[in-house]
Structure 1
């Protein structure tokens, strides 16, 4: 499977210089309907996406929409382009990981000063998938987030995983044949990543969603695989 990303010359320069791909907040994508169909709790500001296409034939609409009026580039990779590597634990963090775990983010990138990235990609190694096009976007997302408060004061929250919650669009966008990578992130704890905050992480991000306190950062940069970057095709 080949993946293609249409972008501007300026963004290509940034990609080559940083060796990273930028994930943007779901609320900034071109299909505004995506972030407006959630129910009582809007999870869209907590989701960051990187959008690609699986269509190997050059698309005039995509050239027009994403390359700066057809004056940009299409970058192409054989398969998923991210740098999957063994997750090494920083000794300053009060956590442990059993066995060898591969991740597209380092431990410092997961637990960064601006946000905590939910490491769903550890149990969902694909960490991306084809977008499904539907006539009932609101119906799919209406109950994406459920929060219940217990008698003892504790709070439970269930979220349809980031790997699937932002993988649906209206059928009018089907021409994009989109393949999307998703990350879910929450504000970093004000006290830093201490033992107490790790013990209280669940309540921290439940409250963030409940009160609509999304991360301050508008994007998350993810490392590209050096080998795949060297073999990237630029059209």
Structure 2
């Protein structure tokens, strides 16, 4: 994260709000599902955007009519305000890992368990790997550019027989025409890999995965990923109703809040009666 920022905003529809409130989660989707078709492209790899999962937000506290129209609705949408990095952290206990692992787990932690927004146990159980889910540092400010080297980055570098893929370059740059969004993103790189193997087997499996990615043949482990919200961030959620919200949709939002998150704040749009 490049700037100090306390809150971010997310425009969406009431149906998605219902799922966020009832499940306490936010959904990440891969770059090949974004409205900006440039996003999934690189200069040297095919289909690699499918491994980069994002959740899009803006730091613009002033309501945006284009954002309402593009990502929500003037009549049936909401804008969610949450504290930055609002995701729940879990302790990676030996017991939780042992419950899904084929191998014995030794506890040398002295009770100082590593906490992460995605657990090792979940990665083992669902046969994937997500390095960012362990680092807890997944928020990035989008850089807007007209530089083709940034919009279509070269990811692969070679040193003798070894290949390195700069997956970290994905999802961080957008065409300057999207600058009005003032976008920030939570970014996860997720790859299909069974990490519950001995080191030699794991290394071989990783090499096979990388080779298939280089050939454009590997497939994403799933089409979306849901991250759970921290209880405090969830309870302090602020929801702004769309500018032309109907009485029925207002009632739906208020009913959802009353049922799932009564401590959340609901506000009328600052554009109410102006458009």
Higher relative contact order (CA 8 A, sep 6+): 1
Counterparts of 1:204-215 in structure 2 under 5 Å? 204-212=208-216, 213-215=218-220
Alignment CA distance shift 1:16-1:22 (3 Å): same
How far does residue 210 in structure 1 lie from its aligned partner after superposition? 1.8
Deviations 1:152-171 (A, max 9, x none): xxxx3323243x43111011
How far does residue 175 in structure 1 lie from its aligned partner after superposition? 0.5
Alignment CA distance shift 1:217-1:122 (3 Å): closer
Taking only aligned residues, the RMSD between alpha carbons, in angstroms, comes to 2.5
Query: Please, which of 81, 85, 92 is the counterpart of residue 90 of structure 2?
Result: 85
Task: Calculate the TM-score normalised by the size of structure 2.
Answer: 0.73
Deviations 1:108-127 (A, max 9, x none): 333342x513213534x421
Counterparts of 1:5-20 in structure 2 under 5 Å? 5-20=10-25
Deviations 1:196-223 (A, max 9, x none): 5434343133123123212141101111
Distance 1:128 1:59 in 2: 22
Alignment CA distance shift 1:28-1:180 (3 Å): same
Distance 1:32 1:211 in 2: 21
Q: How many residues align?
A: 224
Q: Secondary structure at the match of 1:13?
A: helix
CA contact (8 A) 1:188 1:215 kept: no
Task: Calculate the TM-score normalised by the size of structure 1.
Answer: 0.84
Larger of the two Rg values belongs to structure:
2
- Gaps of at least 5 residues in structure 1 are 151-155
How far does residue 146 in structure 1 lie from its aligned partner after superposition? 3.1
Distance 1:173 1:112 in 2: 38
Deviations 1:43-79 (A, max 9, x none): 2111111111111111111111111455211111122
Distance 1:17 1:147 in 2: 47
Query: Please, which of 39, 45, 61 is the counterpart of residue 41 of structure 1?
Result: 45
